[in-house]
């Protein structure tokens, strides 16, 4: 809210006597705005709408429940310090009135006025409070401008592939960005001091670099130099460093601020070209009679160090673009799949509704319009899913103890000084089969969620242990590692806990969370063959546990080839889907086509039915389901009923790489006529 009439109002709560009307009249006559409130609830409503200060009589809140007011005051942004003028009885100042002292401590920025008050005193205090509130809004604007400027600067640095650095003088203390550290062979979480930088400079370039730095410090001119540095792995690289002096008020140099870039590729090309030219010059001297031929060879070969450099730069750009697309794909894939399921329910129900409503042209036009909108949404989700397919998990054996120890610095910086991080990770654990990068993001996400649940600070404990899964329907039998993030925060109610992993659901205040964090962690765990388990109680904290498979080789068995089987037109169909909306709409469509439907909410449930003596003519299954995918269910069912026709219903444009089964497919979302045609093909 911008400063103005609404944000500079004085809201007044003095329900007894004439204090409220007198104060409002004095404030209005002084040229300010005033609103009189009947009770504390009305006062809070006006404060939350925007106000410059509050004028409150102490008897109005002495015994009232101030939790809502104090919570609002405690949750103010850093630039805000809402002023309150507390009206006390004569002789009731804070130094002689414990109640007034208690209220002052609870409400923060409080000014006391003893009644009866002098009009000049009240107007003066109100004027000071309004002016102070204006300065707070000015501070907010300055902070927003600073954040925007920092964002633009970082964008420019990223676009130019530049690292930022600052050398403080005279203590020679170095600050370097993650990109700058990368140019010296360091990871973002590694320390990198000025001594480390000096030690990395190539011995043959140290004296020249020192001379340039001394000249810059002495003259105050710009610092610009290219030199070699040796990485910790022994490889040699080139950097270009440029900086400018920042001075103190007395004119002395405070620091050198600048940027660095990796110019190894360019330098290597230059050196190779220089070596080549030297070699060609020697050959021309020795073979003068072949000068014309050698010149042609030089031109050709030069055109080729240049094509290679261009190709290498293009490949690097393609790699960076691919990495960016992989990151975005993780989000779009899950969201698009969920929207596909929602669209499936919408389209299925609209199909059935169109068949059953009276022949009213207006109603049919409305249904057709809704179907067209759903189909446009389906087209969009298909494009998103095709894009998301570019991101593949690289599941390899990973030492969780080493991975977490390597994240300690990042975690501690992210959690802040008010949160204590403790680890409980035994030695000798087997490796987990995970994607290390995605798992680090998941751990960081869970840790930040835990931090946000402890606004007043607390402790977070990371635990890892090995478990055996035999009866959990969401997991295949075998060995797993449990990675738990345990906080001492405010916890979640049962209703919130039930919805915690739903995409776009968040219990955080508006603007504080996207609602995608836990759903992305859950999706990662399931895609790796594991699970995410949450337990929480209000006031007792939350435990988020990632169940991750142990890295063991499990050979894949080939399934028998699918054989067709002709059955009657009215068939018994096993329908498998974990989404209740999809189950409801598709079951209605199948029964409307004359088929008998047996529903299963998971692959494990479906296998129980297949193992029974229940007659089945066809199984129709979703692909993406927790615990067991449609492909895995199909492979298992082939072992039990080799001749059972299987129809795979999926929103993904392509199945995962390495899929052995070639199954008939029905793309989500589908209409009833598309479903009927596909079943006719399979049932004969």
- Residue 554 in domain: no
Q: Are residues 381 and 405 both part of a single domain?
A: no
- Tell me the average pLDDT across 533-560: 74
In this structure, the answer to whether residues 536 and 429 fall within a common structural domain is yes
One domain, residues 114 and 17? yes
Query: pLDDT tens, 490-540?
Result: 888 888 777 777 655 566 655 455 445 676 777 778 878 888 888 888 888
Cα→Cα distances 410→413, 415, 445, 547, Å = 5, 9, 12, 23
Domain boundary among 243, 262, 281: 262
CB 83 within 8 A of CB 56: no
pLDDT of residue 47 exceeding 70, the answer is yes
What separation in angstroms does the CA of 471 have from each of 53, 239, 604?
61, 57, 11
Q: At 561, is the pLDDT very low, low, confident or very high (cuts 50, 70, 90)?
A: very low
Q: How many domains does the chain have?
A: 5
Q: At a CB cut-off of 8 Å and minimum separation 6, what does 494 contact?
A: none
**pLDDT at residue 644 is higher than 90:** yes
Average model confidence (pLDDT) for the chain? 81
In a domain? residue 289: no
Place of tokens 């899929």: 659
**Cα 156 versus chain centre, distance:** 22
Q: pLDDT tens, 69-122? A: 889 888 888 888 889 888 887 655 556 667 677 777 788 888 888 888 888 888
| Percent of the chain at pLDDT exceeding 90 | 26
165-177 pLDDT, tens digit each: 899 998 999 999 8
What pLDDT digit, counting tens, does each position of 631-642 carry? 999 999 999 999
Per-residue pLDDT at 262 exceeds 70: yes
Q: Is residue 124 part of a domain?
A: yes
Within-domain flag for 205: yes
Q: Is the pLDDT of residue 273 over 90?
A: no
Alpha helices in 389-499 (DSSP H): 400-406, 408-415, 436-452, 494-499
Interval 184-200 mean pLDDT: 92
Residue 438 shares a structural domain with residue 535: yes
Whether pLDDT at 293 is above 80: no
51 pLDDT band, cuts 50/70/90, is confident
- Predicted local distance difference test score (pLDDT) of residue 653: 46
Same domain, 444 and 537: yes
Find, among 500, 422, 490, 410, the residue nearest to 450 by Cα. 490
Measured between alpha carbons, how far is 471 from 284 in angstroms, rounded to an integer?
80
pLDDT score for 652: 62
Query: For position 386, what pLDDT does the model report?
Result: 39
Does the pLDDT at position 152 exceed 60?
no
Residues 444-484: pLDDT tens digits? 888 888 888 888 889 999 999 999 888 777 788 889 999 99
Ranges 270-279, 379-388, 643-652: which has the least confidence:
379-388
Pairing of strands 458-469, 478-487: antiparallel
Give mean pLDDT, residues 362-382.
72
Residue 607, in any domain of the structure: yes
pLDDT at 414: 83
Residue 286 lies in a domain: no
Task: Count the Cβ atoms, other than its own, within 10 Å of residue 184.
Answer: 22
At 597, the pLDDT band (50, 70, 90 cuts) reads very high
Q: Band of the pLDDT at 385, cuts 50, 70, 90?
A: very low
Q: Give the confidence band of 214 by pLDDT, cuts at 50, 70, 90.
A: very high
Question: Which pLDDT band, with edges at 50, 70 and 90, does 382 fall under?
Answer: low
Name the E strands within 488-622.
531-537, 541-549, 572-576, 596-600, 618-622
Same domain, yes or no, for 483 and 588? Answer: no
| Residue 104 CA: distances (Å) to CA of 19, 39, 52, 82 | 20, 19, 18, 13
Query: In this structure, is residue 348 part of a structural domain?
Result: yes
Strands 665-667 and 646-650: parallel
Report residue 560's pLDDT band, with 50, 70 and 90 as the boundaries.
Answer: very low
Domain membership of residue 41 (yes or no) is: yes
Give yes or no for residue 202 having a pLDDT over 90.
yes
With bands split at pLDDT 50, 70 and 90, how would you rate the model's confidence at 325? Answer: very low
Burial category of 509 from C-beta neighbours within 10 Å (exposed 0-12, middle 13-18, buried 19 and up) = exposed
Mean predicted confidence (pLDDT) in 354-361: 78
Rounded Cα distance between 77 and 141, Å, is 13
Query: Worst-scoring range by mean pLDDT, 283-292, 405-414, 488-497, 549-558?
Result: 549-558
Q: Per-residue pLDDT for 654 more than 60?
A: no
Helix (H) or strand (E) holding 521: helix 517-527
Q: Residue 316: pLDDT band by 50, 70, 90 thresholds? A: confident
**Domain closes at, from 262, 287, 307:** 262
Q: Of 144, 172, 197, which residue is a domain's last? A: 144
Mean pLDDT of 355-365: 78
Instruction: Verify that 608 and 470 share a domain, yes or no.
Output: no
Q: Which residues contact 80 (CB under 8 A, 6 or more apart)?
A: 136, 140
Q: Are residues 382 and 401 in the same domain?
A: no
What pLDDT was estimated at residue 120? 86
pLDDT confidence of residue 401: 92
Strand, helix or coil for residue 133: helix
Answer whether residue 666 shows pLDDT above 60.
yes
Q: What's the domain range around 536?
A: 396-549
Identify the CATH number of the domain in which residue 586 sits: 3.40.50.2300
Residues 6+ apart with CB under 8 A from 376: none
417: domain CATH number is 3.30.565.10
My answer on whether 372 and 450 are in the same domain is no
Share of the chain above pLDDT 70, in %: 81
- Res. 338: pLDDT tops 50: yes
The CATH number of residue 182's host domain is 3.30.450.20
Are both 83 and 167 inside the same structural domain?
A: no
Top-confidence residue, 36 or 93: 36
Q: Which of 610, 616, 576, 612 lies closest to 596 in space, CA to CA?
A: 616
Residues 139, 167, single domain; the answer is no
Give yes or no: residues 524 and 431 share one domain: yes
pLDDT at 173: 92
């Amino acid at each position: 809210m911008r400063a103005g009439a609404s944000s500079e109002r004085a809201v007044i709560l003095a329900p007894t006597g004439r204090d409220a009307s007198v104060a409002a009249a004095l404030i209005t006559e002084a040229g300010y705005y005033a609103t009189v409130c009947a009770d504390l609830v009305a006062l809070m409503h006006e404060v939350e709408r925007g106000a410059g200060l509050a004028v409150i009589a102490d008897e109005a809140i002495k015994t009232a429940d101030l939790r809502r007011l104090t919570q609002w005051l405690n949750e103010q942004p850093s630039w805000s310090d809402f002023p309150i003028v507390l009206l006390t009885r004569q002789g009731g100042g804070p130094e002689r009135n414990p109640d007034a002292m208690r209220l002052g401590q609870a409400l923060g920025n409080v000014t006391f006025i003893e009644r009866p008050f002098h009009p000049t005193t009240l107007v003066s205090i109100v004027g000071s409070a309004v002016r102070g509130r204006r300065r707070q809004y000015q501070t907010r604007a300055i902070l927003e401008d600073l954040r925007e400027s920092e964002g633009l600067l970082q964008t420019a640095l990223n676009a130019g592939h530049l690292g930022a650095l600052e050398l403080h003088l005279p203590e020679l203390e170095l600050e370097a960005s993650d990109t700058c550290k990368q140019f010296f062979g360091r990871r973002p979480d590694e320390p990198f001091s000025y001594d480390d930088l000096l030690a990395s400079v190539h011995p043959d370039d140290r004296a020249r670099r020192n001379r340039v730095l001394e000249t810059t410090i002495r003259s105050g001119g710009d610092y610009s130099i290219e030199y070699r540095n040796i990485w910790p792995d022994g490889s040699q690289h080139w950097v270009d460093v440029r900086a400018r002096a920042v001075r103190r008020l007395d004119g002395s140099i405070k620091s050198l601020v600048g940027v660095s870039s990796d110019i190894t590729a360019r330098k290597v090309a230059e050196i190779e070209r220089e070596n080549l030219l030297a070699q060609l010059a020697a050959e021309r001297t020795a073979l003068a009679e072949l000068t014309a031929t050698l010149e042609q060879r030089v031109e050709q070969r030069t055109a080729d160090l240049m094509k290679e450099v261009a190709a290498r730069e293009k490949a690097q750009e393609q790699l960076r673009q691919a990495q960016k697309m992989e990151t975005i794909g993780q989000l779009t894939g899950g969201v698009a799949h969920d929207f596909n399921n929602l669209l499936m329910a919408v389209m299925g129900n609209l199909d059935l509704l169109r068949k059953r409503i009276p022949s009213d042209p207006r109603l049919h036009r409305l249904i057709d319009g809704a179907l067209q909108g759903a189909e446009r949404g389906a087209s969009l989700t298909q494009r998103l899913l095709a894009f998301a397919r570019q991101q593949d998990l690289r599941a390899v054996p990973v030492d969780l103890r080493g991975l977490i120890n390597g994240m300690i610095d990042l975690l501690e910086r992210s959690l802040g000084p008010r949160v204590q991080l403790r680890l409980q990770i035994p030695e000798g654990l087997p490796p987990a089969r995970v994607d290390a990068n995605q798992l680090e993001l998941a751990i960081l996400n869970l840790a930040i969620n835990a931090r946000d649940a402890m606004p007043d600070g607390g402790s977070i404990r990371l635990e890892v242990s090995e478990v055996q899964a035999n009866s959990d329907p969401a997991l295949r039998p075998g060995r797993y590692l449990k990675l738990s993030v345990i906080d001492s925060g405010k916890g979640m109610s049962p209703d919130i806990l039930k919805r915690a992993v739903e995409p776009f659901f968040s219990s955080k205040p508006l603007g504080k969370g996207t609602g995608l964090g836990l759903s992305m962690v859950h999706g990662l765990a399931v895609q790796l063959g594991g699970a995410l388990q949450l337990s929480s109680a209000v006031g007792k904290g939350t435990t988020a546990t990632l169940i991750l498979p142990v890295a063991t080789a499990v050979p894949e068995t080939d399934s028998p080839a699918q054989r067709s089987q002709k059955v009657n037109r009215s068939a018994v169909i096993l329908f498998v889907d974990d989404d209740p909306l999809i189950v409801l709409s598709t079951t209605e469509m199948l029964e409307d086509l004359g088929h008998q439907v047996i529903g299963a909410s998971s692959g494990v449930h479906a296998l129980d039915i297949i193992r029974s003596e229940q007659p089945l003519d066809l199984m129709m299954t979703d692909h993406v389901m927790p615990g067991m995918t449609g492909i895995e269910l199909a492979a298992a069912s082939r072992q039990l009923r080799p001749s059972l026709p299987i129809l795979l219903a999926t929103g993904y444009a392509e199945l995962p790489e390495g899929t052995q089964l070639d199954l008939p497919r029905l793309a989500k979302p589908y209409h009833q006529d598309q479903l009927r045609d596909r079943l006719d093909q399979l049932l004969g």
